[in-house]
Amino acid sequence: MGPDTIRKYRLSEFSVEPTQRIGEYLIQRLHDLGVRHVFGVPGDYVLGFFDQLVHSDLEVINTCDEQSAGFAADAYARLRGAGAVCVTYCVGGLKVANPTAQAFAEKVPLVVISGAPGMKERVKNPLLHHKAKDFDSQLRVFEQLTVASTVLGDPETACREIDRVLTTMLRCKRPVYIELPRDMISAAADPPPKAPELLHTSDAEPLREALREAVDMINASLKPVILAGVELHRFGLQRALVQLVEKTNIPVAATLLSKSVIAERHPLYLGVYEGGMGFQDVRDYVESSDCLILLGAFLSDIDLAIYTAHLDLGRSITVTSEKASIRHHNYEEVRLHDFVQGLIDAHITRREPGEIPRPKPPVPFSAVPGEKITVRRLFQRLNAFIDDDTVVIAEPGDALFGGADLFIHGSTEFVSPAYYLSMGYAVPASLGVQLANPTLRPLVLIGDGAFQMTGMELATIARFQLNPIVIVLNNRGYGTERPMLEGPFNDVHVWRYSRIPEVLGAGRGFDIETEEQLDEALRLSRESTQDFCILDVHLDPHDNSPALQRLTAALGKRVK
């Protein structure tokens, strides 16, 4: 959700009834922000609010597990600009703590709504069910994982508190926590006449100085490169990025976390910069730049491939939603959206970059009869399978590393928790992604170990008649960890994943050992648009993707 969209959904622009019930006011505000689905698991402390949701314009998507609901809402927010998860007190709320931590780490605007004991029930501290230590124990946990939190315990302030936390979420692109005591759900409250503004604007003078220094540095450089980060996703600045790239003719690379921030077919797109895990030509081009323009990028050890990257901040312009630095000069109160627009409007010398690295486009795949499938050949076949209507959801592990090399056709069509790396994300994420954008069909890449954590959400997917294609990389355990330290702790029980549709009474399953079987299964999966499909791809436990092999080789050189 970018600046234009934020202005469209500015809370102060919406009319409200003179008096509303607190729960209904919260629902209206979620709807104002573009939320149309709320993910969660019901419980007695939040049943009244679930009933309000059912009788509203929002659709309740009740999942098998609360953590999965959090992952689904996180993925929904990545595509739609905001997402919401609703659970009961403690037994539900604390299971959402992990997805909330991920949303905080990766700057995802997620609303966590938790039911709670009523305010009148808390008198004299009774031992009510689901309670942990104190009535505010859960609140204190979420205060560490969110940018704003509140307990709606006072009808006089409840509506203002809702607006405060939602405004903070949109400004910071990070999760917020709203605790809704069950005796407050239907309490009458007076909505505020006007909500606060959503956008922070830059201080004019620091912005002018930062832009002046940045433009001078860019114009004096011989080989500028833009490194586009994940905040361009979060703040809806993808179109602004394309406008900047095409006006200046400056090549652009993405980080692993921001993959698909720009369509990979764009002629000025270099590829994913990921240190030693990436392709050498992309790495050489980016690291040899005499003016690296980092926009909305916060570089983690994963983005830098365990610090095999070599970036010189003395030759860099770095601007995020939180800070602006040019070389070693820091500028306060300079906002990312203002800075990007300032670069677009500035007089930057247009140049011809000459020959640049480009992502390797898909090549036709010819299955070798009887040949056992390998990780390398699996991703080659998937690269040829992806089309304009595919969104790839990559689970942490070799699914993510291999997925980084895939050729993604459109903007915001690759989703992965590539920094926080919580396992079990991809299957429930496909639920959120497809509800957020029904025009895209998810291609889910997930290891067998991660699938066993949250794969039961295929039941929810079947219930709501969604149709992702799930590729299980079945290497009998945690394949990414085996090169680090082998041991029985990396093994998992072998499931017959292709037979899960028999249990659910929905979907199609395929058992795959060879290239021919993979080819046929993908062909049939594309034709099966009414159901989910699950492909159990049997791989050698010690086989891994070319990207992981590159990373291992780079780390080996560093150790030597």
Q: What is the pLDDT of residues 75-128, one digit of tens each?
A: 999 999 999 999 999 999 999 999 999 999 999 999 999 999 998 888 878 878
**In this predicted model, what pLDDT tens digit does every residue of 397-424 receive, in sequence order?**
999 999 999 999 888 899 999 999 999 9
Entry pTM: 0.92
Listed range (62-71, 140-149, 324-333, 335-344) with the worst mean pLDDT? 324-333
Question: Which tokens belong to 71?
Answer: 């992952």
pLDDT above 80: residue 14: no
Residue 516: per-residue pLDDT: 97
Question: What number is the average pLDDT over the span 143-164?
Answer: 96
Percent of the chain with pLDDT over 90: 79
pLDDT above 70: residue 302: no
**How large is the C-alpha radius of gyration of the chain?**
24
pLDDT above 60: residue 13: no
pLDDT above 80: residue 275: no
**In this predicted model, what pLDDT tens digit does every residue of 303-318 receive, in sequence order?**
665 556 678 878 999 9
Residue 19: per-residue pLDDT: 73
Q: Are 36 and 58 spatial neighbours (Cβ–Cβ below 8 Å)?
A: yes
Question: What number is the average pLDDT over the span 62-74?
Answer: 98
**In this predicted model, what pLDDT tens digit does every residue of 282-296 receive, in sequence order?**
999 999 999 999 999
**In this predicted model, what pLDDT tens digit does every residue of 479-517 receive, in sequence order?**
888 888 889 998 999 999 999 999 999 999 999 999 999
Q: Token match 């330290």: residue?
A: 485
Which tops the pLDDT comparison, 351 or 228?
228
Which tops the pLDDT comparison, 15 or 553?
553
Helices and strands (DSSP H and E) totals, the chain: 20, 21
Q: Token match 């980080």: residue?
A: 255
pLDDT above 50: residue 9: no
pLDDT above 60: residue 432: yes
> Mean pLDDT over all residues of the chain?
91
Residue 117: per-residue pLDDT: 93
Percent of the chain with pLDDT over 70: 93
Question: What DSSP designation does 513 have?
Answer: -
Q: Where are the domains of the chain?
A: 3-189, 204-345, 375-551
Cβ neighbours of residue 200 under 8 Å, at least 6 residues apart?
171, 335
Question: What number is the average pLDDT over the span 321-328?
Answer: 91
pLDDT above 90: residue 205: yes
Question: What number is the average pLDDT over the span 449-477?
Answer: 97
Residue 3: per-residue pLDDT: 41
Which tops the pLDDT comparison, 40 or 550?
40
Residue 303: per-residue pLDDT: 61
* CA atoms of 300 and 447, how far apart (whole Å): 23
- Please give the CATH topology (third level) of the domain spanning 204-345: Rossmann fold (3.40.50)
* CA atoms of 108 and 110, how far apart (whole Å): 6
Which tops the pLDDT comparison, 341 or 132?
341
Cβ neighbours of residue 322 under 8 Å, at least 6 residues apart?
none
Question: Which tokens belong to 128?
Answer: 């009510």
Question: What number is the average pLDDT over the span 233-256?
Answer: 96
Residue 556: per-residue pLDDT: 57
Mapping DSSP onto H, E and C, the string for 262-288 reads CCCCCCCEEEECCHHHCCHHHHHHHHC
Q: Give 554's pLDDT tier (boundaries 50, 70, 90).
A: low
Residue 6: per-residue pLDDT: 39
pLDDT above 50: residue 15: no
Residue 10: per-residue pLDDT: 44
pLDDT above 70: residue 1: no
3-189 and 375-551, same CATH topology: yes
- The β-bridge relationship of strands 390-394 and 441-447 is parallel
Reduce the DSSP state of residue 45 to 3 states and report it: helix
Cβ neighbours of residue 448 under 8 Å, at least 6 residues apart?
472, 473, 474, 475, 476, 477, 492, 494, 495, 497
pLDDT above 90: residue 46: yes
The superfamily (CATH) of domain 375-551 is Thiamin diphosphate (ThDP)-binding fold, Pyr/PP domains (3.40.50.970)
Q: Token match 């030759």: residue?
A: 315
Specify the CATH architecture of the domain 3-189: 3-Layer(aba) Sandwich (3.40)
Nearest CA among 107, 166, 59 for reference residue 431: 59
Residues in the chain, overall count: 560
